[in-house]
Amino acid sequence: MSIAIYIAVMAGVTYLIRMLPFTFFHREIKSRYLRSFLYYIPYAVLAAMTIPAIFYSTGSFVTAAAGTAVALVMAWFDLPLIAVALAAAGTAFVTGIFF
Amino acid sequence: MAHGIPIMLGYLSVSFGIGIMAVRAGITPFQATMISLTNLTSAGQAAGIGVIASAGTLFEMALVQFTINLRYALMSLSLSQKLDKKKFTLPKRLAASYGITDEIFAVCSAQKEALTPAYMCGMIFIATAGWVAGTILGAEAGSIMPKSVTDAMGIVLYGMFIAIFIPPVRKQKSVLFTITAAAALSVLFKYAVKGVSAGFAIIICAVIASAAAALLFPVDEEETDEKEAAE
């Protein structure tokens, strides 16, 4: 299938999600359950996207696992996003020299 | 526009990862740039690139984007209450809604005054410039850098995801529960439940984990605000 069609669908759906409530809605979501669900969704999506895919992200399980470990520790100490991301890559690169 | 500069710098580096990821998935730098320009979202684009790479269906693509980006509907809803109603005419609302991201939402909702089109559009413009430039750099770098470097850079985006979902774990058991459940289900889908495509697996894992978390740990208004500020 043409990649242009994929991109059009991606862009269309993403735009509508942002545009419709911003333009036409004027009420607030009252349901506590629904608000809770929407609160947790980003975390759940990111976790499901990251694990186990991260272990395949560098083409080598060993380098990816090393990068993941460093990222987890740095994220735990609340270091900036970009520092965590680049340290993970740096670790994977250095580990890759040895394995 | 000044408020957009820190966002732009952050986006430059994140979209660099997106660019590299796209090229590794067999997408051209031009296509990657078009994806970034038309979508302006990291997780949605990463998942969308996955769907393209695995030749998924358009229905899957639509559903993946819907689920992952659904949070923007909530942000849009919240921002729509803060708008300067006189200045924000329909065409301006249609234009500004394009740029509602986690970061832009966070900065806009922290403003005391009503939001004007000039304020929002300036910030969105500069943030988008960073997002697109980073994608181009990442995609082009991905095509010319040695394989050992692009292999290692493949982890950048996931490293950033970890940096987003780990810190709240220290404060909130509910988030620990959510990410553990989502990750465990995701592993299950990868190794035990065959035949479900990656995009659908993410949706199913995220919906089950969040639905359970919402039942067990309903959030208060304060927690929601805290999270918005963090993003």
Interchain pair B152, A42: CB under 8 A: no
CB contacts < 8 A (A, B):
301
What is the average pLDDT across B106-122? 88
Q: Who among A47, A54, A57 is closest to B182 (CB)?
A: A47
Question: HSE-up of A26 (CA within 13 Å, CB side)?
Answer: 3
* A3, A20, A32, A36, best to mutate vs chain B, most B CBs in 10 Å: A36
Name the more confident of B9 and B127.
B127
Residue B145 one-letter amino acid: M
What's the confidence (pLDDT) of residue B162?
92
| Residue A14 backbone phi and psi in degrees, to 5 | -65, -40
For residue B40, what pLDDT band results from cuts at 50, 70 and 90? very high
The number of distinct structural domains making up chain A is 1
Disruptive mutation site among B155, B171, B205, B224 for chain A (greatest number of A CBs within 10 Å): B155
**Does A30 score more than 80 pLDDT?**
no
Average pLDDT, chain B: 88
Reported confidence tier of residue A27, pLDDT bands at 50, 70, 90: low
B119-164 confidence digits (pLDDT tens): 999 999 999 999 999 999 999 988 888 888 888 888 888 898 898 8
Distance CA B19, CA B46 (A): 10
User: Roughly what angle, to the nearest 10 degrees, separates helices A3-24 and B42-53?
Assistant: 150
Q: At what angle do helices B5-24 and A81-98 cross, to 10 degrees?
A: 30
Crossing angle of helices A81-98 and B156-165, rounded to 10°: 130
Per the domain annotation, does A14 fall within a domain?
no
Q: Is the pLDDT of residue B216 over 90?
A: yes
Whole-number pLDDT of residue B224: 53
Q: What is the pLDDT of residues B161-179, one digit of tens each?
A: 898 899 999 999 999 999 9
Burial class (CB in 10 A: 0-12, 13-18, 19+), A28: exposed
Q: How many CA atoms within 13 Å lie on the side-chain side of B16?
A: 19
At A48-99, the pLDDT tens digits run 989 999 999 899 999 999 999 999 999 999 998 778 988 999 999 999 999 8
Does residue A23 sit within a domain?
A: no
- What ipTM does this complex have? 0.89
Alpha-carbon dihedral B146, B43, B187, A70, rounded to 10 degrees: 50
Residue A25 inside a domain? The answer is no
Which residue, among A19, A95, A29, has the nearest Cα to A64 in the 3D structure?
A95
The Cα diameter of chain A in Å comes to 58
Task: Give the pLDDT score at B116.
Answer: 95
Contacts 24+ apart (CB under 8 A), B5-8: B5/B126, B7/B103, B7/B104, B7/B107, B7/B123, B7/B126, B7/B127, B7/B130, B8/B126, B8/B127, B8/B129, B8/B130, B8/B131
Q: What pLDDT is attached to residue B231?
A: 42
Residue A73: give the domain boundaries.
30-98
Would an 8 Å CB–CB cutoff place A61 in contact with chain B?
no
pLDDT at residue B19 in the model: 94
Query: φ, ψ for residue A81 (rounded to 5)?
Result: -50, -50
The verdict on residue A9 lying in a domain is no
User: Mean per-residue pLDDT for B202-219?
Assistant: 93
| Better-predicted residue by pLDDT, B5 or A32 | A32
Which pLDDT tens digit goes with each residue over B86-99? 899 999 999 999 99
Cα–Cα nearest to B82, from B30, B120, B44, B131: B120
Lowest mean pLDDT among B5-14, B64-73, B172-181: B5-14
pLDDT at B223 (0 to 100)? 53
Assess B164–A contact: CB distance below 8 Å, yes or no. yes
- Look at residue B230 in the predicted model and tell me its pLDDT: 45
Contacts of A51 (CB under 8 A, 6+ apart): B183, B186, B187
Determine the pLDDT at residue B121. 95
Is residue A68 one of the residues assigned to a domain?
Answer: yes
Q: Minimal CA–CA distance to B29: which of B126, B134, B128?
A: B134
Interface of B with A in 83-122 (CB under 8 A): 90, 93-94, 96-98, 100, 102
Is A18 part of any domain?
Answer: no
Chain A's closest residue to B41, CA to CA, is: A14
Q: Which residue has the higher pLDDT, A70 or B17?
A: A70
| Confidence at B2, pLDDT banded by 50, 70, 90 | confident
